[in-house]
Every structure is written in C-alpha cells, then in structure tokens.
A and B are shown apart, each in its own frame.
Chain A
Amino acid sequence: MNEQSKLVFTPTDFVAITNQVFETAFGFSYIEGELANFRISKNKWLYFDIKDATSKVSCFGSVYAMPGPLEEGMTVVVGGRATMHPQFGFNFTIQSIAPSGQGSIKKAFDLLKAKLTAEGLFEEARKRSVPYPPNNIALVTSLESAAYADFIKVLSHRWPFANLAVYDSLVQGDQAPAQLVNAISDANSNEVLADVLVITRGGGSADDLSAFNDERVVRAVASSRIPTVVAIGHEVDESLAELASDKRASTPSNAAELLVPDRQAEARQILGLKPRLSSSFKTVITSNLENNQRSLENIKSIFNDKLRTAEAELDLSKHRLELLNPRSVLKKGYSVVRQTGGAVVKNSKSLNVGQNIELIFYQGSAKAEVKEILK
C-alpha cells in the first residue's frame, strides 16, 4: 500500500464512520450475559459490563430502562446499539435490560418484591373498591391479542351497557413496559376518568409475563388514580402488577366476570325482589292494623275507666246532696218550727207564750200556739 492510498481519518470522522458501520452491521441488537461492575451515577445513568467467560462489553444507559433492582452476577439480556462515543470510546448504549433465565428472573422478582413491599405498595389498606357494575371501563391490552377478544366477548354477553375505552399496548417484549406505562398514564390523563382500569393479557412463559414484574409497570398500576383490575392469564404465581392492583383476576374472561353481573341473572334477581318487597309491605300493613286495633282497644279501655270513675263520683255527690237535703231530716220524723213570718225557731227563748207558730213536717204543715216555754 502506497502513502497516497492510505485512508487517514480525523478522530471525528473515524467515530462517525464507526458508528455508521455499527449501525449497518448490528442495528438494534441484544446481548445476553452476566451483569458485572454495575453502578448507578447521579440516580440517572447506568454503567455496567456484560460479560461471559472470555469477554466483556461496557454498557451505558438510563436508569429508566431498569426493570427493577438488579444485582451483579445476574444473567441479563440488554437491548441497544453499539456506539463509539466521541469522548468516552466504545460502549453498548442500552434501551432495555431484563433478567434472563429462571434463576435471574426469580432473583429480580424477589428483589423488586422486597423493595416494593417495604414501600407498602402491596398493602391491603391501599386497595380501593371497584364500582359494580362500572359504567365506563378503560382497558389496557394488545388489540391483537386473544385476551382482548375474550374480554370483549364476555363483557358484551354479560353486560352490554358499559362504555369501553381501549388503550392498545404491547404486553410482552422489551418495549412492553414503556408502552404499558404510557397506556396507563393516558387512561389516567382523561378529564373524566373511567370507573375502572383493566390491564390484561393471556397466559405465557415467565419471560412473556416479565413486563408485569417490571418496576415501572408495577408503580404505574399502584399510582393509577383509577381503581385497577389486573388480569394475567396464569394461575400459579402472582405478578407484582397484580399484587399492586386493587383487584386481581385470573384471566381476561375472569376479569370481565368480576367486573359486571350477568344481565339475565340480574334481571331475575331484581324481579325476585318484587314479591319480597310486597311481603314486607304486607307485614307492615298487618302490623299497622294490629297497632291501630290495639290503640283502639286502649282508647276504649281508658274511656270506660274514665266513665266508671265519673259515674262513681256522681253517685257519691248525689248521696252527699241527699244527706244535705232538709227534707231527708224531716223524713226521719223531725219537724221544723217557724215563727209566723218565716224565721226558723232554733231557741225556745225566742218564743212567747201564746205566740202562733208553724210546724213543718216531711209531709204537710200545721199551725200551733205556744202554751208554755220550757227551758
């Protein structure tokens, strides 16, 4: 190679061309390996290496890419782009990082669960009641999914009176957490909030469901202003998003069943209330009649008592009057002596011999003359 054919770059050109080559060769790519030299700077930036037995790759990214607490030694899959930085040289700029393999997934799950439990995110006292049945339902799921179809089918059949606002989101893969968070945020940004927010997907492997164990998603569920129902199609282990929700359902269909009653069963139950209500009302009428009857009897009894008392009092008065009647005395044989002119004689000293007096008997009277006055 002669001097003229040599390619000589400036550092800036070299960096720019290298980045173009990386982009062309790799584009967005993934690396799986063991997490090492992990550190967080200024609560904002992540620095770590991802390594295997013989090699390591320096990685850099934002803390917002973290799915939760991570520990060195965990196996992770990072998604991002190989980059040559003008100042700091080569690194792999990550946009996603997720634990990989059963052991690491379990470890990450346990770490995040412990962290959020300590913060009280899963406490029963935080759980809100879900209106039953809700008028307005917000649904976060993938429009392409069987979960969406199942939820709509059951909801339409049981309770077609609801209004449903659907927020489309990926529910698996490394883009799922960010999309789920955005969808939850959008649902919570409406001026008039829905009565309930359902976040659902069908079953899958632990890896498929990992978005629902992502710290960003779990926090979005916990901080939702709308009461949440999280339904992930699996029965065994609960995801952290389910633990943070106000209510958990086992499947998308189960979520719809929990949210709304069956209209036909409800109609039968409501109609069944009519005879129950009539029976209660009849009891009230009967009880009221009995009360009235008792009141009437009481009034009658009081009236009779009063009447008897009045009669007795009247008899007593009559008897007293009778005793006071002067004729009653005359009847016993006594007589009244009156002077001529009317004054009753109470004392013999008021009489004179030869004076005419009048004797009044019970029946009749007689004139008489005083013959002698005795002391």
Chain B
Amino acid sequence: MTKFNYATKKSQLDEIISWFESEEIDFEEASKKYEEAIKIIDEIEQYLKDKSAQLKIEVK
C-alpha cells in the first residue's frame, strides 16, 4: 500500500482550489475536480483524525 503523503495530497488540493478560482472553467472538468477535491478532503480528514498516529523515533 502506498504511504499517505500529506504534502502531496495538500498540494493537489491547493491546485484544485486555485483552479476553481481561475476565470475559464469548464463545467465537466469542474464536476470531476470537485469530486476529486472532496475525496482528498475526506482522506486528509481521516488521516489527521487518526488517534493511533504516533511519532516514530529511531536513534541512529
């Protein structure tokens, strides 16, 4: 399973938000991007609310 990369997900989300703020928006694409953004938000929310998350420390 690919490890969740928060920075990448956030960057994808920021890109979609910026896209929505641009001037020329295609309805079909907007629909797809909206669904994609909602999916990313849900994934991030789940990640951030994971109570089992714990800092992994390795002493070298």
A: which residues have CB within 8 A of B?
Answer: 131-135, 143, 152, 155-156, 159-168, 186-187, 263-264, 266-267, 270-271, 273-274, 276-278, 280-281, 284-285, 287-288
Q: Which of B18-36 contact A (CB under 8 A)?
A: 20-21, 25, 27, 30-31, 34
| Distance in angstroms between the alpha carbons of A263 and B59 in the assembled complex | 25
Q: How far is the CA of A263 from the CA of B54 in the complex (A)?
A: 12
Report the bound CA distance from A152 to B54 in whole Å.
11
Number of A-B contacts (CB under 8 A): 85
The residue in chain B whose Cβ has the minimal distance to the Cβ of A138 is B60
In the assembled complex, which residues on chain B have CB atoms less than 8 Å from the CB atom of A266? 48
**Contact A270-B48, Cβ < 8 Å, known A164-B58, A284-B25:** yes
Show 26 A/B contacts (Cβ-Cβ < 8 Å), sorted by A: A131-B7, A133-B7, A134-B7, A143-B59, A155-B55, A160-B53, A161-B47, A161-B53, A162-B56, A164-B55, A165-B58, A166-B58, A166-B59, A187-B60, A270-B13, A270-B48, A271-B41, A271-B45, A273-B17, A273-B37, A273-B41, A274-B38, A276-B17, A277-B38, A281-B30, A285-B27
> Lowest 8 CB-CB distances: which A-B pairs, in order?
A280-B20, A267-B48, A288-B27, A284-B30, A160-B53, A281-B34, A163-B56, A156-B55
Main secondary structure of the interface of B (DSSP, over half): helix
Count of residues in B whose CB is under 8 Å from the partner chain: 30
Chain A residues with CB under 8 Å of B47's CB are: 161
Most interface-central of B3, B13, B27, B48 (chain A CB within 10 A)? B48
CB-nearest residue of chain B to A186 = B60
Q: With A273-B37, A274-B38, A277-B34 given, can you name 14 additional A-B contacts, CB distance below 8 Å?
A: A133-B6, A135-B6, A156-B54, A166-B57, A166-B59, A168-B60, A263-B48, A266-B48, A267-B44, A267-B45, A267-B48, A273-B13, A277-B37, A284-B20
CB of A284 to closest CB in B, whole Å: 4
| Docked pose: A155 CA to B55 CA in angstroms | 8
Contacts of B17 in A (CB 8 A): 273, 276-277, 280
